[in-house]
Amino acid sequence: MRLPRCAALLLLTFWLALTFAHAAAAADESTAAAERKHCLSCHAKKGSIKKFSDGDSVATYVDPKAFERSIHGSLPCSACHEEFSERRHPDRVFRTKQQYQVRESRRCLACHPDESINARPIHQSLFKKEQAGQPRICTNCHNAHSAQRVRKGAVTASEEQFCMRCHRHAKNMQFAAGGYVSVQIDMAVLASSVHRNLSCSDCHRSFSASEHPRRQFRSIREYRLSASELCRRCHYDKQSKVADSIHYSLVSTGRLGAPTCVDCHGGHAVTPIGTDRLAIVKKCAQCHAHAYAEYAQSVHGSALRNTANRDVPTCIDCHSSHTIRATRSAAFHDTIPDTCSGCHGKQEIMAKYGLSTAVVRTYLSDFHGMTLQLQRKEVRSRQRPAASLAVCSDCHGSHSIARAAGANAAVIKSNLLKRCQSCHPNASENFPDIWLSHYETSLATMPLIFVLGWFYRIMLVVMVVGLVFQIVLDIRRRLEKRQEVCMSTGWPANDRQMVRRFSMYRIIEHLVLIALFFTLVLTGLPQKFHQVSACQSIILVLGGIDTVRLIHRIAGGLFLMLAVQHIAVNFIGIVFRQWDPSLLITLKDVKDSVHNARYYLGLLPNPALCGRFTYKEKCVYWLVLIGGIQMIVTGFMLWFPVLVTKYLPGQFIPAAKIVHSSEAMITLLLIATWHMYEVIFSPDVFPINKSIFTGFMKQRQAARLHPLEMAQRREIGEDDLTEMTRERKL
């Protein structure tokens, strides 16, 4: 029984002790609260200050809420200010503010002795400064009435206040290799920085109110490189881009003048992007003074300097800010048209200054722009390295850009000749006019190019509409009348005998023409429509633009040889009186075309009766022959522009390009529509007219297509129609 009684007595004693302790604590808290209330009746008033003999002063205002949240919020005021109470308030006199702060800081030692606070490195350094005669003031870091608990070596009080205690003064960091850098921080500048809401340790993570390691740098360069590494933690994407730039490559090779993050952006005065575009240019001018001098006098730089025009490009608009490439590299050179088109291709910007956006389209459709685009495709497909071609800056300059019109036009043209001669050494004064078609043409400036362009546009539309319309009408009428035409010639409708149509020589000639035609189309059309992805794929499959051009020129040379031999054979036939004139266009062909037009419209019951060749076949022959000669002549003009411009104005080269490509389109459309219809899809020959491949045609088909020729043969008694008495040369 004694054991339970003892336990009960112990529990009773413990309960009574807790009760009395709680009552005592409540009494102390009540006393402390009453004391705080008494003191705050004066010190909670904003504007109260204490003056010192030297004229300086310190605020005696205490924020009640901040004090209540502080680590000392439960203490009475007299716990630190022991000479003060509700009954006494001595009037103390201090000569200076520092003397007052030192006196108050010594009160902290009552609870925070040296042996406990000196365990921290920052306190050790402060203690050493105190021994050297510099006062130790606790409230510089921890504040007076809003001190917070120290957690994991970081003070949650104002870090900025702690750092600025030293860094607000003009101090320098010395380096072993010579030189120094200022570590003074201008708070006004920092307040306008994009980093104004960051604490010091957000960037300088190895530093805090409790840690201040001493770092040794041999040189200013080493210090700046170390400072730039601090940016990586937040700006990793930018840092990754910089790693591929010319600036970083120069840094990695040890170039002392190569810029780092802080060289361009500054350390603490980091301003928002785009706030001062002229400042960006001047920042770059610190290293690129010569480029800035040219830019300042250019059409771009003068507009930026005089009117602060935000449409004007600055350094970073053309070179970018972080992915800066070497200006001599092909990677940078080949992207210049893309850079310039960023402004010159935007209608809303160019309309303000009366400039045309057509310069982008015309450049990309011209020789240099087309080649550049296709070669860049080849680089991406790893087929071949990029080659330098004329881009915007090669003709207009890079920094010293002047207006292309007005008083500067003659100067630009003379400079352009020099630029052309860098790739075309024998270029004459007419040569630069070739590429002036890069600008929008007009009747006043380039009449030949303007007239030819519109002539072929209209001609292509009229030809396509006319051919399609005629094919539709021809199909309808031929389905109605083909049997009647056959019977009117007197030849049996079911005859299976063959009529010789072409000699072996003409068959071979036609096969060679077909092969050259498809080769020229396959290598020519992708160049004309090079912006179409399918055409780009064809060029890549064929080996790239240079290979395609080589194949096209070889095929063009063979086509020239074919045309020469064709004309020569016919000329010899005329001389030796063995030439068949049936392909010449005569007055009857004109009458037949009018007759058939009326027939197609339903005004006549029957079509015109044709001889050996119809007027349609003659038109196809002569259009291909004349168009082929034009393409040969203009093709060689495009192949040898330097030679041509020695004797002809430069505008003849872009004019030759228009004629060459337009005649090619006319020939292609003529073959693909009317000729293919006549020899494959026409109801009279479907599924195909094989006479050009075999040399023979069925009598029934010949009677239907060439009734006059068959009637003539019947009259002269050509009964054996499997062989003809005279070879046809055409």
Sorted by where each begins, the domain ranges of the chain are 39-157, 167-272, 447-716
Note the pLDDT of residue 157: 46
Q: Taking the CB of residue 482, how many other CB atoms lie within 10 A of it?
A: 16
What is each CA distance from 76 to 35, 48, 727, in whole angstroms? 6, 20, 131
* Residues facing residue 181 across a β-bridge: 173
Nearest-angstrom CA–CA distance, 360 and 439? 9
Tokens, residue 527: 């160049």
Q: What is the pLDDT of residue 32?
A: 74
**Are 442 and 450 within 8 A, CB to CB?**
yes
Which tokens belong to 425? 């050494």
**pLDDT of the residue at 166:** 80
Q: Peptide bond preceding 687: is omega within 30 degrees of 0, i.e. cis? A: yes
What is the model's pLDDT at position 17? 62
The yes-or-no verdict on residue 215 having pLDDT over 90 is: no
Confidence (pLDDT) at 16: 61
Q: pLDDT value at position 507?
A: 92
Structure tokens at 514: 């077909």
pLDDT at residue 543 is higher than 50: yes
Quote the pTM value. 0.68
Asked if pLDDT for residue 386 goes beyond 50, the answer is no
Dihedral angle at the C-alpha atoms of 583, 586, 588, 590, nearest 10 degrees?
100
Give the domain 447-716 fold.
Fumarate Reductase Cytochrome B subunit (1.20.950)
Q: For 489-544, where are the alpha helices, taking DSSP H only?
A: 504-528, 533-541
Q: State how far Cα 637 lies from the chain centre.
A: 34
Mean pLDDT of the chain: 80
Q: Are strands 154-155 and 49-51 parallel, antiparallel or unpaired?
A: unpaired
Per-residue DSSP letter, 541? H
pLDDT value at residue 26 = 53
**Which alpha helices (H) appear in 640-679, and where do they start and end?**
641-644, 652-670, 676
Give the pLDDT score at 729. Answer: 37
> Of residues 479 and 482, which shows the higher confidence score?
479
Lookup: tokens for 185 = 């921080």
407-419: per-residue pLDDT in tens? 555 556 667 788 8
Query: For residue 365, which of 301, 443, 435, 424 has the smallest C-alpha distance?
Result: 435
- Write b or e for each residue in 675-694: b if 16 or more Cβ atoms lie within 10 A of its Cβ, otherwise e: bebbbeebeebeeebebbee
User: CA-CA distances (angstroms) from residue 388 to 6, 31, 330, 334, 418?
Assistant: 103, 88, 6, 7, 17
Bigger pLDDT: 667 vs 402: 667
Of 639, 653, 643, 636, nearest to 428 (Cα)?
643
For 240, the 3-state DSSP assignment is helix
Q: What is the Cα gyration radius of the chain? A: 48
Give the model's confidence band at 723: pLDDT under 50 very low, under 70 low, under 90 confident, else very high. Answer: very low
- C-alpha torsion 711→713→714→718, nearest 10: -160
| Element housing 33 (H / E) | helix 2-43
Look at residue 155 and tell me whether its pLDDT is greater than 50.
no
**Max avg pLDDT among 68-77, 143-152, 351-360, 450-459:** 450-459
pLDDT of residue 498: 79
Least confident of 217-221, 386-390, 522-526, 622-626: 386-390
pLDDT tier at 85 (50, 70, 90 boundaries)?
confident
How far does the chain reach from its first CA to its final CA, in angstroms?
A: 143
pLDDT band at 405 (very low <50, low <70, confident <90, very high): low
- Identify residue 605 by its one-letter amino acid code: P
Q: Which residue has the higher pLDDT, 610 or 667?
A: 667
Which is higher by pLDDT, 723 or 35?
35
In tens, the pLDDT along 423-463 reads 888 988 888 888 765 667 778 878 888 899 999 999 999 99
The string of pLDDT tens digits covering residues 13-62 is 766 666 655 555 555 566 777 777 888 888 888 777 778 777 777 888 88
> Tokens at residue 419, please?
């630029």
Mean pLDDT of the region 156-172: 74
Q: Can you give the pLDDT at residue 132?
A: 58
- Tell me the three state secondary structure of residue 551: helix
Q: Describe the crossing of helices 367-380 and 358-365 by its angle, rounded to 10 degrees.
A: 70
Please name the residue that has the structure tokens 């001599």.
Answer: 328
Min mean pLDDT across 470-484, 506-520, 577-591 is at 470-484
Which pLDDT score is estimated for 685?
81
Q: What's the pLDDT score for residue 724?
A: 41
DSSP H stretches of helix in 44-138: 64-69, 97-106, 114-117, 121-131
Contact 607, 595 (CB under 8 A): yes
Residue 695, pLDDT above cutoff 80: yes
CA 278, CA 274: separation in Å to the nearest integer?
A: 9
